Structure 1
Amino acid sequence: MHVSRPRVISQGLVKFYTVEGKENFGLKTSIEVHQVVDPTYQTPEYTAYVIDDVPDWLIALPLDYIADRIGSGEKLETAIKKALGLINVKSSSENIDLAKKVFERWLNGYGAFTPLFLMPDITDIYLRKLDDGLVAHVNHEELGLIRAIIGWEPYELIARRGLKKVVKKVTPNDFDPVGYLFRRFSIRMKTPITTHNPMPDLVDPEYRIRIAVTSDPVGRPTPWVSIRVLPRSPRLITELIRNNVISIDQAALLWLLADYKVPILFVGPMGAGKTTLQNAIAFLLVDRVIALVMDVVELFLPYHRVVLPMLERRAFARGIELIDKVRLINHALRSGADIILVNEARGDEEFRALLEAMTLGHGTITTFHAYDYEDAVTRLKVKGFREAERFLEEAVIVEVGLAKENVKDESGIVRVVHRRRAKAIINADRHLDALVRDHGKDVIDRQLRYRVDFLSKALELNPTPEQLATLLYAFYRDPEAVLAVKPSLEAIESLNRPKLELPSEVSNLDNEALGPEKGPFKEDG
């Protein structure tokens, strides 16, 4: 499926997004969220329509024909000209350019699904193949679970065969969108999706999506794909403070503890924002060497001097060795990392490895699914981690809560309001007392006060990630000088943050996870 031009059914536009640029291969796509009100119960239903800003004739573009001609050695432009002739479209430079962009998105990206994967404000995408075609849903941060429409109305292609005029209808059911996505996932992530490996877990770092595939023979009778959309930019601690997720005093305390390598464990239910808080605290530690241990690319520290990203590898075929988080944590111990970030700890072996890292003097920050401290103890014991209470006593536990509520605004739109907050910080006093014994009360009180004042000033500025990193580098060099200056964006620009290369954890985290097609098609092969 290469383009999307669906018919919109609407009783009101609710949200509007535009996706364009390099990631969408130069094409412009609108994603419109419309509502239809149920006449009986007066409840709104929302649908997202993916609409490519292209002429309808591109629906009939013979992509397989173009691919075959290129495979025979023809240049891309020549193949496109011949393809346009087959569908009675003039071979103007504008039409050739449009067809080239659509073909490249189909060949190198995800076709008409590309804009959906880039859509803002969504956390999950669910795609299923049913008898009557594709069914897609997205989990929207404000509107909840909504239907997504990708496709087009039946398009009539009029062609001539000799003296006869032939009319052919091109419909979305002529294509196998789920099969197409399976092929694209296999090629881009170099992971076969076969009957031997029907349930691979994949990560596309370029689009920042985590993909769970279920294919035949497991996905019967309906193969499906579940996609988690990972954050494309780090959520800053200033944003979380402004949204009442965490207070300035709590953030300053966690920053201080993490800086002194005190182990921190965030616990909370799914979707509470544990990883977001973890990343926001780690973002403040720009002067530390940090190892990122992940099963998916969801920790993002683009402005640190030294970041050591490591990604878990599954053993999906014979001869492919499993590299799990335990091995990665042990490897991080030999890497000279000050702090080891694990995006999520699940099993007893992972917690034992973290406990060893803690005893060897490394800082650790990780997350665990549990509702509170007591629930974490219970779950770890159930998992067979007999030293659960010892681990939790050693770490500072941050309980993160989540409450959801449907709220109807004045226009009748029902929005899902998420209330996330750091409910409690446990064991912090004991670790603060230890720091006071080691460094002196004056030093610790002063460092804590510095951080409270810094966050207060940063909150006034509302900085970008790069601006906050610039302030942090200056803060670590001379905190009193930074705090003495009246906060302003002009003052930040004058600080001359050292030039840093963006770390490669997003695009080059694991070469095995990258597909062979990076960028536009090259005619010379």
Structure 2
Amino acid sequence: MSEAEARELEHGKEDLLLSLLEEPGAPEPRVGEVSGAPEAPEEPAGDVEELTSVEPEEVLEEPGEAGGQEAGESASGTSGILEYSVGVLTVVVSEDQYEVVEPRLDPDAERALHAVVEYLAKHGLGPEKAGEAAEKLGLASHAQRQPEAFRYYVEKALSPWGFLYPLILDPHIEEISVVAGRPVDVIHRRLPGREYIPTNIAAPPERELREYVQRLAAAAGTAVSPAFPIAEAELDGHRVTIVLGSIASATSLSVRKHPEKPLGLEDLIADGMLSREAAEYLLLVLLSRGMVFIVGPQGTGKTTLLNALMEKLPQDWKLVAIEDVPELRPRHPRFISLRVRRARSLAASRQTEVTYQDLVRVALRLRGQFTAITEARGEEILDLFEVAALGEASAATFHARDWRELKLRLLKLGVREDMLVLLWSVVVLSKVRLKDGRTVRRVVAIYEVEPDGSERLLFRYDPEKDVLVKVAEPRRITFSPLSESSGDRSGGGPGTGSGPESQEGHNAVSASRDGSVDAADTDGNSALESASGSSGT
């Protein structure tokens, strides 16, 4: 037998094995289904063991540098603003569309992908075992023709995110909105001045999307059904909200993506969300065991600001957060998140529910020095005022546009006027359009609540200069902040010298008997440094 005949016989054996692995009626992997995906170039083969998890590596490029395209042009020829890579994906963002391009697999690699994914799913294995599976199935040569693309599609097939997986990988996407039968919309962090823009990914029709969101809810540890058509959960660190079409015009899904690394208080100051003086004032209120409400419309950064403030609290404090959907992730050694639980089926007893009120009682027993409630809406507000009445620091995020709207809603929820004295400070956030067209998040006002329940404006946003200006001195604390150039400005997270061993001086900024607190400790450090114990870094 000649060498050519031997190679032909071997190739025929591989094709026969592939055909035997493909069961009739089994769904084919949807490879390269995103419109505009170009053919991927051949990649050199490597060891099978290298088929490990794909990291969402980000390579930002200036328009026109990727793929030899003209400056500012996407693959479809539309004018582009941003063009970058996320792993094997190419992303082109214009004011009118977000376009993601997936790699193409050759036919042999597609067939191998189907067999490997089926094997991994059957044996309950993760994508990190893709190389071993390909080796056992005799498909290693096909898998290694385009190893990076092959790994991506294995992970996509095994991920609960399915067709949304490319958007989940992109760290620049803030929000994903899905409605049955429509293009998926996104909010892009690097496209200021724009809200939702459509993508080249289409949501499946009603029935398919309903099945998809039910699987997604199950992966997040909850359930959605005609009896319970609304679900809120966390999956892979992102907030998921599902509404079935039985109570809406169409089944819809919203995914709020949180940054992989939470923004610290120094980041927010550098971005201009608030001034250093305002940040020090808010920290001093919390160190004085006061209560702070952070209010504003949706998407204005309320949780981001609360998270950043919590990171700066003393490392020997215990911080307790009560959340419906977990969003707070402060880098603090003594942070505890308590989560509300609701019955998600008709067979489940109401006794299985865990309410805000239950968790507030637990928080008190945990003896924390700080308690926070996120997305407060109802009677749990009264419970938070009880925490404040016990003399512990507390905070809440709340949907309101200003102090007057907040006060009106608190009174309707049962908070008496004489209880408002427990509320020390109200921070108002909003989205602001700057002169250059960018839309940014800003603290637009900070109020001090007087003992009679009236407000006193301390800080006001100046839109002309894009700065937060102090217009009055607070009366409930002694406030003498240091200049912005003084001291170290490092954050209070792990690795910054802010652990318990560096906390000896932080008590110098806590409240005195009359409730006052000074902005500088005995070593001359600002509250931003002393509270987090970072004065020696």
> What interval of TM-score do these two structures reach, taking the shorter chain for normalisation?
0.5 to 0.7
2:408 & 2:316 partners in 1: Cα distance? 36
Q: Is the 1:80–1:99 contact (alpha carbons within 8 Å) kept by the matching residues of 2? A: no
Higher relative contact order (CA 8 A, sep 6+): 1
Q: Is the 2:292–2:396 contact (alpha carbons within 8 Å) kept by the matching residues of 1? A: yes
For residue 274 of structure 2, give the secondary structure of its aligned residue in structure 1: coil
1:478 & 1:54 partners in 2: Cα distance? 59
Q: Percent identity?
A: 21
Partner residue, 2:459: none
Residue 262 (structure 1) shift: 1.1
Q: How do 1:115-264 and structure 2 match up within 5 A? A: 115-130=166-181, 134-141=182-189, 142=192, 143-150=194-201, 178=209, 181-204=212-235, 206=236, 208-220=237-249, 222-264=250-292
For residue 200 of structure 1, give the secondary structure of its aligned residue in structure 2: strand
1:326 & 1:278 partners in 2: Cα distance? 21
| CA distance 1:332–1:174, shift in 2 (3 Å) | closer
Of 346, 354, 368, the match for 1:323: 354
Partner residue, 1:33: 93
Of 68, 86, 101, the match for 1:51: 101
Partner residue, 2:22: none
| CA distance 1:213–1:268, shift in 2 (3 Å) | closer
Partner residue, 2:529: none
Q: Is the 1:144–1:416 contact (alpha carbons within 8 Å) kept by the matching residues of 2? A: no
Q: How do 1:51-450 and structure 2 match up within 5 A? A: 51-55=101-105, 57=107, 61=111, 68=118, 91=142, 93-95=144-146, 98-130=149-181, 134-141=182-189, 142=192, 143-150=194-201, 178=209, 181-204=212-235, 206=236, 208-220=237-249, 222-285=250-313, 286-302=315-331, 304-317=332-345, 318-319=347-348, 321-347=352-378, 349-382=379-412, 384-387=413-416, 389-405=417-433, 415-427=437-449
2:504 matches 1:477 = yes
The AA in structure 2 aligned to 1:476 is Q
Residue 340 (structure 1) shift: 0.4
TM-score, normalised to structure 1's length? 0.68
For residue 279 of structure 2, give the secondary structure of its aligned residue in structure 1: helix
2:484 & 2:298 partners in 1: Cα distance? 31
CA RMSD of aligned residues (A): 4.1
TM-score, normalised to structure 2's length? 0.66
Mind listing any 5+ residue stretches in structure 1 that lack a counterpart? 21-27, 35-44, 152-171, 409-414, 432-443, 486-491, 497-525
Residue 83 (structure 1) shift: 9.4
Residue 312 (structure 1) shift: 1.3
Residue 235 (structure 1) shift: 1.9
2:73 matches 1:9 = no
Q: Is the 1:454–1:483 contact (alpha carbons within 8 Å) kept by the matching residues of 2? A: no
Q: May I ask how many residue pairs the two structures share in their alignment?
A: 418
Per-residue CA deviation, residues 385-409 of structure 1 (Å, 9 max, x unaligned), is 152x33432111223142433766x
Q: Is the 2:229–2:244 contact (alpha carbons within 8 Å) kept by the matching residues of 1? A: yes
Q: Is the 2:113–2:143 contact (alpha carbons within 8 Å) kept by the matching residues of 1? A: no
Q: Is the 2:294–2:429 contact (alpha carbons within 8 Å) kept by the matching residues of 1? A: no
| CA distance 1:262–1:328, shift in 2 (3 Å) | same
1:59 & 1:181 partners in 2: Cα distance? 26
Q: Is the 1:17–1:120 contact (alpha carbons within 8 Å) kept by the matching residues of 2? A: no
| CA distance 1:177–1:287, shift in 2 (3 Å) | farther
Per-residue CA deviation, residues 310-356 of structure 1 (Å, 9 max, x unaligned), is 11112211325221222111110001111101112211x21111121
For residue 35 of structure 2, give the secondary structure of its aligned residue in structure 1: coil
| CA distance 1:370–1:278, shift in 2 (3 Å) | same
